[in-house]
């Protein structure tokens, strides 16, 4: 036991009336909600990077956090791992996620970085065994080091492509070794700062090629987890190629990978792309590429990827409603890609931020499940489109032509009368479950 969280108890469920900061008021892991325990619906994961690797800097200021593991040594990395798994257990999160760069010191060479990673992976394997905490997904950090400043797969320099591919291999190997359930690709530098120096056609081919190599390696190794792309429109890059779910879908179709790859959807990235979180979730479901979620909360107004801990239960309810309509998670889960505000310096802040986020998710899930079970919202939706299930609708979708439509409208003097969309009434209905 380290003493980082000294005095902080393991968090347990005490119910809505508890006024204990260090307790869950909604998240009751074993409580059954529509057929399975909440923990199996939510499949919470903590993110190594924000909680243990980020030091509190922002564009106008440096480190604010003062953590004993902030140095680029293996000893520090081990201490960090100890503290991380202590947090996972305090919170009772069943999963965690990591990038290579979060967990091991950068080596002087690729070989050394790889060796460092392997050592930490061995330590993780022991901790996983000891604690039962599992790996939701692994990923490669191909954006922080200056070698990636102009892209990883989409770099103008083929050496960077090769370096990135090699790095991905080490991270997929680590993920496989640790029994990870997914492997994630987020292309933070896959995009451009200015079109003036960018060959978008080439870069698109490079990105497609890298993804194919990843899929090939998955099959070769027999990895059973999902390969997930995490869309984001911008930040750090001015334009990122994986802009949003619809863009990723077009890319997958272009390279014939739509059955091989799914998406990891982040609330904040949805917002930055001009969408709601629930839009991205619903679209992924309809396109058959829904995989997992990065739960957080984005400032609507700043344009920055704020990665705040989520707390708005009505909004989260709409998100989990779409997750439930998608059939829930299979390999995916709820990863807190969320970081403390840089003024939240204390170990207690780190725990409480997760407690609040987990509780808000649980409250949202319960409301969503009740709404779905109750069936009123779905009944209203079905009724609105009922005409399409009738013969005329089916004919339009299968047999009609512009000419037959023209003939019918003319013959029957069709003049459609609009009927109410009932938005406010449905919004009131949703509020009833909160």
**Of 82, 356, 370, 372, which one interacts with a second copy (CB under 8 A)?**
356
Q: Which of residues 313-342 bind a second copy (CB under 8 A)?
A: 313-315, 318, 322, 340-342
Please name which of 232, 248, 227 lies closest in space to residue 189, comparing C-alpha atoms. Answer: 232
d(CA 360, CA 348): 18
Binding test (CB under 8 A) with a second copy, winner from 75, 259, 346, 373: 346
379 binds a second copy (CB under 8 A): no
**Cβ atoms < 10 Å from Cβ of 297:** 21
Residue 257 exposure: Cα atoms within 13 Å on the Cβ side: 25
Rounded distance between C-alpha atoms, residue 315 and residue 89, angstroms: 28
Residues 82-111 close enough to bind a second copy by CB under 8 A: 109-111
- Tell which positions 281-300 bind a second copy, by CB under 8 A: 282-283, 286-287, 299-300
Which of 224/238 has CB closer to a second copy?
238
For residues 194 and 232, the answer to whether their CB atoms sit within 8 Å is no
Which of 177, 58, 194 shows the shortest CA–CA distance to 120?
177
Peptide bond into 98 cis (omega under 30): no
Q: Is 206 in the site for a second copy (CB under 8 A)?
A: yes
Contact between 115 and a second copy by CB under 8 A: the answer reads no
Burial class (CB in 10 A: 0-12, 13-18, 19+), 123: middle
Segment 177-236, which members bind Co ion (CB under 5 A)?
A: none
Question: Catalytic site residue 99?
Answer: yes
**What would the two tokens of residue 348 be?**
């207690």
For Co ion, the closer of residues 156 and 236 by Cβ is 236
CB of 331 to a second copy, least distance (A): 21
The yes or no reply on residue 102 touching Co ion (CB under 5 A) is: no
Which residue from 232, 235, 230, 231 is spatially nearest to 303, judged by alpha carbons? Answer: 235
Q: Does 431 bind a second copy (CB under 8 A)?
A: yes
Contacting Co ion within 234-273 (CB under 5 A): 266, 268
- Which member of 50, 99, 275, 279 is catalytic? 99
294 makes contact with Co ion (CB under 5 A): yes
Under the binding rule (CB under 5 A), the answer on residue 307 touching Co ion is yes
Q: Are 209 and 153 in contact (CB under 8 A)?
A: yes
CB 239 within 8 A of CB 192: yes
**Alpha-carbon dihedral 85, 89, 95, 97, rounded to 10 degrees:** -30
Q: Which stretch binds a second copy (CB under 8 A): 85-93, 121-129, 261-269, 420-428?
A: 420-428
Instruction: Decide: is 366 part of the binding site for a second copy (CB under 8 A).
Output: no
Number of residues this chain uses to bind a second copy (CB under 8 A): 158
From 77-85, 87-95, 306-314, 327-335, give the range in contact with a second copy by CB under 8 A: 306-314
Catalytic residue check, 259? no
Q: What residues contact residue 169 under an 8 Å CB cut-off, 6+ apart?
A: 217
Question: Is residue 6 near a second copy by the rule CB under 8 A?
Answer: no
Distances (CA, A) of 286 to 242, 246, 257: 18, 11, 16
Q: What is the dihedral of CA 325, 273, 188, 281, to 10 degrees?
A: 0
> What residues numbered 132-151 form the site for a second copy, per CB under 8 A?
143-150
Based on CB atoms, which residue is closest to Co ion, 278 or 294?
294
Which of a second copy, Co ion, none is residue 294 near (CB under 5 to 8 Å by kind)?
Co ion
Q: One of 102, 294, 337, 359 is an active-site residue; which one?
A: 102
Start-end of H helices in 99-199: 100-103, 110-131, 158-177
222 binds, among Co ion, a second copy, none (CB under 5 to 8 A by kind): none
Can you give the binding site for Co ion, defined by CB under 5 A?
A: 266, 268, 294, 305, 307, 337
Active site residues: 99, 102
């Amino acid at each position: 036991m380290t003493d980082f969280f000294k005095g902080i108890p393991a968090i347990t469920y005490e119910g809505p009336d508890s006024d204990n900061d260090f307790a869950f008021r909604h998240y009751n892991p074993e409580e059954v909600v529509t057929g399975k325990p909440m923990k199996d619906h939510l499949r919470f994961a903590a993110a190594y990077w924000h909680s243990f690797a980020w030091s509190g800097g922002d564009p106008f200021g440096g480190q604010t956090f003062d953590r004993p593991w902030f140095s680029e040594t293996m000893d520090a990395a081990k201490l960090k791992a100890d503290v991380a798994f202590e947090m996972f257990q305090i919170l009772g999160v069943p999963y965690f996620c990591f990038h290579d760069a979060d967990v091991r010191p950068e080596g002087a060479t690729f070989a050394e970085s790889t060796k460092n990673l392997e050592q930490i992976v061995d330590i993780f394997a022991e901790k996983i065994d000891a604690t039962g905490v599992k790996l939701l997904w692994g990923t490669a950090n191909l954006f922080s080091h200056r070698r990636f400043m102009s892209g990883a797969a989409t770099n103008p320099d083929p050496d960077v492509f090769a370096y990135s591919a090699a790095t991905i291999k080490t991270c997929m190997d680590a993920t496989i070794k640790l029994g990870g359930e997914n492997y994630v690709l987020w292309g933070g530098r896959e995009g451009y700062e200015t079109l003036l120096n960018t060959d978008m056609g080439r870069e698109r081919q490079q990105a497609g090629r890298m993804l194919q190599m990843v899929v090939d390696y998955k099959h070769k190794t027999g990895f059973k987890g999902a390969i997930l792309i995490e869309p984001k429109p911008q930040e750090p890059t001015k334009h990122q190629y994986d802009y949003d779910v619809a863009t990723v879908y077009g890319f997958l179709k272009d390279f014939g990978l739509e059955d091989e790859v799914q998406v990891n959807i982040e609330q904040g990235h949805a917002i930055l792309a001009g969408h709601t979180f629930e839009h991205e979730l619903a679209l992924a479901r309809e396109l058959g590429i829904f995989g997992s979620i990065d739960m957080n909360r984005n400032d609507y107004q700043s344009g920055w990827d704020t990665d705040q801990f989520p707390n708005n239960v009505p909004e989260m309810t709409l998100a989990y409603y779409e997750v439930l309509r998608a059939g829930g998670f299979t390999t995916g889960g709820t990863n807190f890609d969320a970081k403390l505000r840089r003024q939240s310096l204390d170990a207690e802040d780190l725990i409480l931020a997760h407690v609040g986020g987990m509780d808000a998710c649980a409250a949202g899930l319960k409301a969503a499940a009740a709404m779905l079970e109750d069936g009123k919202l779905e009944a209203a939706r079905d009724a609105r489109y009922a005409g399409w299930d009738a013969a005329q609708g089916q004919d339009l979708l299968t047999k009609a032509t512009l000419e037959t439509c023209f003939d019918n409208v003319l013959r029957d003097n069709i003049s459609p009368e609009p009927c109410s969309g009932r938005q406010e009434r449905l919004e009131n209905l949703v509020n009833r479950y909160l």
